[in-house]
Amino acid sequence: MGLLSFLFGGGKRQERLQAAIAGGAPIIDVRTPGEFTQGHAKGAQNIPLNVFEKNIAKIATKGGPVVLCCRSGARAGNAQAMLQSKGIEAINAGPWQAVVKAQKS
């Protein structure tokens, strides 16, 4: 696997994302409400990063992996770290368009 594939989600990461979505994992978009209304993945729930930590208990009750997305993957990475620190499996899908692509696969 090339460095760019590793960094930007090639191979196993994409397969893991597709499997999580196919398995019904919740999709959480951590962008602002304004960004979310401009476009988002089907079925995504909007929990902005600035209120994300307050909602971790609610997210944790769903069980299984959680798929996270945003505009570029940076905010989703922050949310992923928060969840993982609480022992919750989380997948940083990167931009929300990557989730849309995985949903179509």
> Is 11 a member of any domain?
no
What domain count does the chain have?
1
Question: pLDDT, tens digit, for every residue of 9-60?
Answer: 456 888 999 999 999 999 999 999 999 999 999 999 999 999 999 999 888 7
> Is 14 a member of any domain?
no
* pLDDT given at position 35: 98
Identity at 70, one-letter amino acid code: C
* pLDDT given at position 6: 43
Residue 44 contacts residue 68 (beta carbons within 8 Å): no
**CA nearest 46: which of 9, 71, 16?**
71
Q: Apex CA 59: angle with CA 22 and CA 91, to 5°?
A: 50
> Is 96 a member of any domain?
yes
> Is 6 a member of any domain?
no
> Is 37 a member of any domain?
yes
Domain extent for 99: 25-104
Residue 30 contacts residue 68 (beta carbons within 8 Å): yes
Global confidence as pTM:
0.87
* pLDDT given at position 1: 36
The arithmetic mean of pLDDT across residues 61-87, rounded, is 92
The enclosing domain of 30 has a CATH number of: 3.40.250.10
- Report the distance separating Cα 67 and Cα 28, nearest Å: 6
> Is 69 a member of any domain?
yes
